[in-house]
Amino acid sequence: MPFMHVPAEMAEEYGGDPAQLPGGANPDQIVAGKGFDYFGGGEELVQASSFDPASLEFDGTPLSGLIAKLKSLGYAAVRVKYDGGYDEGFAHFDAALAPDGDGDPPAAVAARLSPEDGDLEELAEGLTVCLLGDYYGTGEYEMFGAFLADLATGALTDLKDAEPHEHAVVHQSYDE
């Protein structure tokens, strides 16, 4: 589900062809001068295609109240962006979407919430962990992606037209 880039030296280290790595020859996207290929996923990457809105939590903090609050405000889904590489993965709350698809950015959504309602970034992290697992974004590669989370059904839907978050690690240069 993410777009992935593996540095050429990783192939060379193991006697492989750098052009065969994700982001090698004919990449799907170029970010910060690096090629990224869309990786369709598979069981080794994607952990789940849905979550339970009534029992989602992050680091022991229940998120069901925040999900209920977002639904009460008229939102049907949230869009989350994620990125990572080498030793860390990051999740970013990108927007809350009305049933017609119109979205509100994080600041507008946060302005409609009280501190007791919960944290949007924790929601983004909890959803990303559901999708990709606890250790997403850690490995000898760089990645980014985005997905929608349906607040009623719990469906997680990949967005193949993802662009990296403005603060994504993929904007940094490690390949020089």
Is there a domain that residue 27 lies in? no
Is there a domain that residue 107 lies in? yes
Is there a domain that residue 118 lies in? yes
Specify the pLDDT at position 175. Answer: 46
Q: Give the chain's domain count.
A: 1
Structural domain including 97 reads 50-171
Specify the pLDDT at position 167. Answer: 83
**3-state SS record for the chain:** CCEEECCHHHHHHCCCCHHHCCCCCCCCEEECCEEEEECCCCCCCCCCCECCCCCCEECCEECHHHHHHHHHCCCCEEEEEEEEEEEEEEEEEEEEECCCCCEECHHHHHHCCCHHHCCHHHHHHHHHHHHHCCCCCEEEEEEEEEEEEECCCCEEEECCCCCCCCCCHHHCCCCC
| pLDDT tens-place string over residues 89-137 | 999 999 999 999 999 999 999 999 999 999 999 999 999 999 888 888 8
**Residues facing residue 80 across a β-bridge:** 93, 147
Is there a domain that residue 20 lies in? no
25-60: b (≥16 Cβ within 10 Å) or e: eebebebbebbbbbbebeeebbbeeebebeebebee
**3-state SS record for 48-86:** CCECCCCCCEECCEECHHHHHHHHHCCCCEEEEEEEEEE
Specify the pLDDT at position 176. Answer: 42
| pLDDT tens-place string over residues 2-51 | 888 888 888 788 788 888 888 888 888 888 888 888 876 555 556 568 89
Q: With a threshold of 0.85, does the pTM exceed it?
A: yes
Q: Residues 66-74: what's their mean pLDDT? A: 98
Is there a domain that residue 26 lies in? no
Q: Does residue 160 register a pLDDT over 90?
A: no
Q: Residues 139-153: what's their mean pLDDT? A: 92
Instruction: Give the residue among 28, 11, 16, 6 at the shortest CA–CA distance from 160.
Output: 28
Is there a domain that residue 156 lies in? yes
Is there a domain that residue 15 lies in? no
**Per-residue confidence band for 62, with pLDDT thresholds at 50, 70 and 90:** very high
Is there a domain that residue 99 lies in? yes
